[in-house]
C-alpha cells in the first residue's frame, strides 16, 4: 500500500473540508493553494505506517540481539 501511495502522481482522496477549500480557491482563480494538498495528505497518511514499521524494526532487532545473547551463553 505504501508503494502505491508514493508512486501515485495524482490522488483525489481529500477530506470534505479540504476539498471545499480548494474548490473555493480555484473558483477565485487561486490554483497554487491546492497544488500541494494531495502531497500533504499522503505525507500525513504515511506517518503512522512509518512509525509502526520503525517500532517493528526496533523490536525485531532487539529480539534478535536478545536471542543471540541467550544462545551464545548456553
pLDDT at residue 6, rounded to an integer: 61
**Closest Cα to residue 37, out of 12, 2, 5?**
12
pLDDT at residue 50, rounded to an integer: 95
Handedness of CA 29, 35, 38, 47 (dihedral sign): negative
pLDDT at residue 72, rounded to an integer: 75
3-state secondary structure of 60: helix
Cell matching residue 27: 473558483
- Provide the domain limits for residue 45: 2-73
pLDDT at residue 56, rounded to an integer: 97
Question: How far from 23 is each of 4, 15, 45, CA to CA, in Å?
Answer: 26, 12, 22
What is the count of structural domains for the chain? Answer: 1
pTM beyond 0.85, yes or no: no
pLDDT tens for 24-74 read 777 777 666 666 676 777 788 899 999 999 999 999 999 999 988 888 765
Cell matching residue 70: 541467550
Amino acid at each position: 500500500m505504501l508503494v502505491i501511495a508514493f508512486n501515485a502522481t495524482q490522488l483525489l482522496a481529500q477530506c470534505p473540508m479540504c476539498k471545499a477549500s480548494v474548490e473555493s480557491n480555484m473558483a477565485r482563480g487561486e490554483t497554487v493553494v491546492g497544488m500541494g494538498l494531495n502531497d500533504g495528505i499522503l505525507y500525513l497518511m504515511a506517518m503512522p505506517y512509518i512509525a509502526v514499521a520503525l517500532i517493528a524494526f526496533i523490536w525485531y532487532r532487539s529480539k534478535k540481539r536478545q536471542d543471540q545473547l541467550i544462545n551464545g551463553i548456553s
